[in-house]
């Protein structure tokens, strides 16, 4: 048997920590009106909100991948002046209250905003559109991808890339054939975390995008609204959101575990 090296009292505190998270979830499940559960979660507004949430989260995850990989590479591979500052700013949405993010986005992409005015002249209107939802979700989701990927890149090191370069491979080929495959588990878990964070995004969306069924009212906003009049519906939808999040996160955390072994051997 492996020696775990964990003092026994640690299990006690771990149990409290675990209960602290599980108990509220259990309390919520206990509150569910099961007789009404199916009609509540399959109502038109619920399904529309769920569909919108999944579509916008998928789009924002794609944006996070497209811009997060380069950001993580820049931060992980070569030190430069102001790098720590850049990292601090990229990670800021992790600790920023989402409402603050929403206000910041409003002053950037809003009608009176920094870029919004020029965009409006070009005929592009972001406020109150699904695009605004995706932007808000990308804003809060991006740091998750960058953090996971930067860690993976640092752990993997760059020896294989150096070898590939001496063999004559071009930088883009190295990125595509060596770097990205090596950090794929880290990239996958980062993408999943971004997706999960996007799915739960509330504050920035409410502040920046508004709330209209089928356009900007994602599942968290629908829950917030339903809670005003129909607590049963709010709880039922909350469970749906929890279930989707658990499925997504659960699926992703199994995969990197297996793939970790060759990655670690490589490092």
Partner 1 sequence: MKIARRNVGILLAAGSLIAGLAGCAGSPGAGSSSAGSSSAGSAGSASTSPQLSGTVTVYAAASLKATFTKLASEFEAKNPATKVVLSFAGSSDLVTQITQGAPADVFASADTKNMGKLSDASLVDGKATNFATNVLTIAVPPANPASISSFADLAKPGVKVVVCASQVPCGASAQSVEKATGTTLKPVSEESSVTDVLGKVSSGEADAGLVYVTDVKGAGDKVKGVPFPESSNAFNTYPIATVTTSKHKDLAAAFISLVTGSEGKKVLADAGFGVP
The residues of the shown chain that bind partner 1, judged by CB under 8 A, are 8-9, 11-12, 15-16, 19, 23, 106, 110-112, 127-128, 206-207, 209-213, 216-217, 221, 224-229, 231
Instruction: Please state the closest distance from residue 36 (CB atom) to partner 1, in A.
Output: 17
Which candidate, 46, 68, 31, places its Cα nearest to that of 195? Answer: 68
CB 249 within 8 A of CB 87: no
172 vs 229 by CB, closer to partner 1: 229
Token look-up 């070898």 returns 163
Q: Rounded distance, CA 152 to CA 148, Å?
A: 6
CB-CB contact of 138 with 195 (8 Å) = no
Q: Residue 248's closest CA among 201, 204, 182, 197?
A: 197
Distance CA 120, CA 114 (A): 11
* Alpha carbons 30 and 33: distance in angstroms, whole number: 8
In the bound state with partner 1, the residue whose beta carbon lies nearer, of 155 and 211, is 211
Q: Using the minimum distance from each CB to partner 1, give the nearer residue, 29 or 251.
A: 29
Termini Cα distance of the chain? 27
Identify which of residues 77 and 227 has a Cβ nearer to partner 1 in the complex. Answer: 227
Instruction: Report, in Å, the least distance between residue 11 CB and partner 1.
Output: 5
Write the burial class of residue 119 (CB in 10 Å: 0-12 exposed, 13-18 middle, 19+ buried): middle
Closest approach of partner 1 to the CB of residue 144, in Å? 27
Helix (H) or strand (E) holding 145: helix 130-156
CB of 205 to partner 1, least distance (A): 11
| Residue among 129 and 155 whose Cβ is closer to partner 1 | 129
Cβ proximity to partner 1: between 221 and 244 the closer is 221
Tell the smallest beta-carbon distance from residue 106 to partner 1 (Å): 6
Phi, psi of 219 (to 5 degrees): -60, -45
Nearer to partner 1 (CB atom), residue 160 or residue 224: 224
Q: Quick one: CA dihedral 120, 124, 130, 136, positive or negative? A: negative
Give CA–CA dist 241/226, Å, rounded.
14
């Amino acid at each position: 048997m492996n020696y775990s090296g964990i003092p026994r009292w640690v299990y006690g505190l771990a149990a409290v920590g675990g209960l602290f998270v599980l108990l509220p979830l259990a309390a919520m499940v206990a509150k569910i009106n099961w007789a009404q559960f199916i009609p509540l979660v399959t109502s038109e507004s619920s399904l529309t909100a769920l569909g919108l949430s999944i579509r916008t989260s998928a789009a924002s995850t794609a944006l996070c991948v497209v811009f997060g990989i380069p950001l993580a590479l820049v931060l992980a591979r070569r030190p430069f002046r102001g790098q720590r500052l850049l990292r601090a700013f990229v990670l800021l949405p992790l600790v920023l209250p989402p409402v603050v993010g929403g206000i910041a986005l409003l002053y950037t992409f809003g009608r009176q905003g920094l870029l919004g005015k020029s965009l409006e002249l070009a005929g592009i209107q972001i406020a109150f559109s699904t695009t605004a939802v995706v932007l808000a979700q990308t804003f809060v989701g991006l740091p998750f991808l960058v953090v996971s990927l930067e860690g993976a890149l640092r752990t993997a090191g760059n020896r294989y890339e150096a070898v590939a370069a001496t063999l004559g491979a071009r930088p883009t080929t190295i990125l595509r054939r060596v770097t990205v495959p090596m950090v794929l588990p880290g990239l996958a878990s980062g993408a999943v975390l971004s997706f999960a964070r996007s799915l739960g995004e509330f504050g920035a969306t409410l502040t920046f995008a508004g709330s209209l069924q089928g356009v900007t009212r994602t599942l968290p906003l629908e829950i917030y609204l339903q809670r005003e009049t129909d607590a049963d519906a709010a709880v039922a939808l909350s469970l749906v959101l929890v279930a989707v999040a658990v499925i997504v996160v659960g699926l992703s955390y199994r995969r990197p575990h297996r793939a970790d072994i060759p990655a670690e051997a490589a490092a």
